[in-house]
Amino acid sequence: MGQPVERESGARTSGDRASDGATPRPELPPGQRLQRGWPVTHYGPVPKFRPERWDFRVFGATADGEKHSWTHEEFTALPYATVTADLHCVTKYSMLGAEWGGIPARTILDIAPPAQGVTHVMVWAEYGFSSNLRLDDFTSECTIFATHKDGELLTAEHGFPLRLIVPHLYAWKGPKWVRGVEYMTADRRGFWEERGYHNIGDPWREQRYSYQEEPGDGPEL
């Protein structure tokens, strides 16, 4: 396999536009442009959803040392919430103001808590796609496992039946077709983070590429 390339497709989330009330934040992070519509961006094929084979797993350093799993029916019966947020693709387009509906990440942390000492999570998707997050990014109240956008079920290309939205990070940090979460006691790079994207990925600090990382931003490449 050659070097994977991210193909056009993207989204954006608009959470708090003005972070501190005093100085309104510009709408777009530096270097981003507004995109009309909602492109589709990912590497590889769109997986087929097979409800009877689908499960959502929480594993790794869980508080009780057990693995947890939910069927599609069980997972989608968890309390539904919405988050309005922008989506910023590192290829420089942004989509503003989508309403994401689904299950907040905090719900998962409540019902399947991590062990003490967990600092990061790896979010796993179909075909082994993954992205790592600091625990704080995952526990943010805006981080949500989305089943819906603007009141409609996600389409297959956009991650049906489930995708993660982390509004305050670049969109590659939000896997489509997500299948589980691994609790980790040390950081490890996910799919794009191993392939040249920044380990943290804050769009407001324009943390696009791994060569911009400073000591402490991520595990050695």
Ligand X SMILES: Nc1nc2c(c(=O)[nH]1)N[C@H]1C(S)=C(S)[C@@H](COP(=O)(O)O)O[C@H]1N2
| Interface positions with ligand X (CB under 6 A) | 6, 9-11, 38-43, 89, 125, 129, 158-159, 171-172, 174-177
Among 28, 83, 89, 165, interactor with Mo ion by CB under 5 A = 89
**Three-state SS for 180?**
strand
Burial status of residue 77 (CB atoms within 10 A of its CB: 0-12, 13-18, 19 or more): exposed
Nearest residue (CB) to ligand X, 54 versus 62: 54
DSSP string, 22-74: SSPPPSS-TT-EE-SS-----SSPPPPP-TTT-EEEEEESBTTS--EEEEHHH
Select from 150, 157, 25, 143 the least CA-distant residue to 100. 150
Find which of Mo ion, ligand X, none residue 204 binds, CB within 5 to 8 Å per kind: none
- Residue 30: CB minimum distance to ligand X, A: 17
Q: Which stretch binds Mo ion (CB under 5 A): 24-32, 38-46, 141-149, 174-182?
A: 38-46
What residue 42 binds from ligand X, Mo ion, none (CB within 5 to 8 A, per partner kind)? Answer: ligand X
Coil, helix or strand at residue 105: helix
169 part of the interface to Mo ion, by CB under 5 A: no
Instruction: Indicate the DSSP class of residue 119.
Output: -
Asked if 68 and 36 touch (Cβ cutoff 8 Å), the reply is no
Interface with Mo ion, residue 87, by CB under 5 A = no
Q: Residue 3: CB partners within 8 Å, gap ≥ 6?
A: 195
Residue nearest to Mo ion (CB): 89
Q: Which stretch binds Mo ion (CB under 5 A): 15-23, 82-90, 102-110, 191-199?
A: 82-90
- Smallest distance from the beta carbon of 161 to Mo ion, in angstroms? 20
Give the footprint of Mo ion on this chain (CB under 5 A). Answer: 41, 89-90, 171-172
